[in-house]
Amino acid sequence: MLVLFTDLDGTLLDHHSYDWQPARPAITHLQSLHHALILTTSKARAEVTQLHADMGLADPIIVENGGALCLPPGYFGPPPEGSLPRDGWDILELGAPYPALVEALRRAAATSGVRVRGFSEMDIDEVARRTGLPLETARLSHQREYDEPFVVEEGDPALLCAAIDAAGFQWTRGGRFFHIIQGCDKAKAVQALTALYRRHHPVERTIGLGDGLNDAKFLRAVDSAWLIPSAQTAQLAPLVPNARIAPHPGPAGWAHAVTAELAA
C-alpha cells in the first residue's frame, strides 16, 4: 500500500477559499485502491476531524504540527500503548499541553521585547477574520491542545524565536501564523505513524505533499515528496532538494501529484 501524508492549507485546501473539490476525484481513486491518506496539519483536532468526516476519510490524522496522532479505534488492532480514548478516537499525544505553550510564549515575548498576539488572546471573530474561515469553523480552530499559533505585532521575530529556543521550546512558521510547540513536529509524527503502518501493513512507499516551511522536515522523512506551489516555494525547495514541484497551487496541484504517484 501507499501511505500519503498531506498538509492542508495551501496544499489539499485552497489557501484562500479552503476549497478541496478539485482534489475529490484523486481522493476517490486513492481510496478505491485502498491506500492511506493522512491529513498532516497545524490545525486543531476539532477542526480536522470535521474535515476528515466531510471528505469521507477513514485513516488516522496528525494534528497541531505533530502534537498528536489521532487513530480510528481498531485501525491497527488493539489501541497502541499510551493512547487515550477521546471523542471517538485513540489519541497518542506527542506534544506539550497547551497551557504550557501559552505561558512559554508570554515569557519569550517579555524576554525578547517583541509584542505578539496568540490564539489564546483572540476571540472567535478575530480568528475568523485572520484566517478567512467561517465562524463555526473558526470556533473549532480555536480549540487548541498542543500548539499555540501567534502573530508578531511589533519587534524582530528573530529575537522572539531565539528566546523560544533558549527556553527549551520550538517554533515553526506556516502560511498565516508562527507556532510554538514542544517536543513534537510533523516529521516525528510522520515517522511514528509510518512505523505503525509498517508493523501492520506491507507499505510500498510513503509520499508527502506540502507547501510551507513547516512542512520541510516531514517532506524529508518520506520516500517521495511534492511541493505544492506557494509564496514559500522559493525558500522551501532548497530544504527538500529531492522534491518535485506540482504545476499548480492548491488542490489542482495536489491532484496532479497524487495522480502521478498512482501511475508510477
User: Where in the sequence numbering do the catalytic residues fall?
Assistant: 7
Yes or no: say if 133 and 140 are a contact pair by the CB < 8 Å rule. no
Alpha carbons within 13 A on the beta-carbon side of 7: 32
H/E element holding 262? helix 250-263
Across 167-203, b (16+ Cβ under 10 Å) vs e yields bebbbbbbbebbbbbbebbbbbbbbbbbebbeeeeeb
Q: Cα-atom radius of gyration of the chain, to the nearest Å?
A: 18
Distance CA 10, CA 7 (A): 8
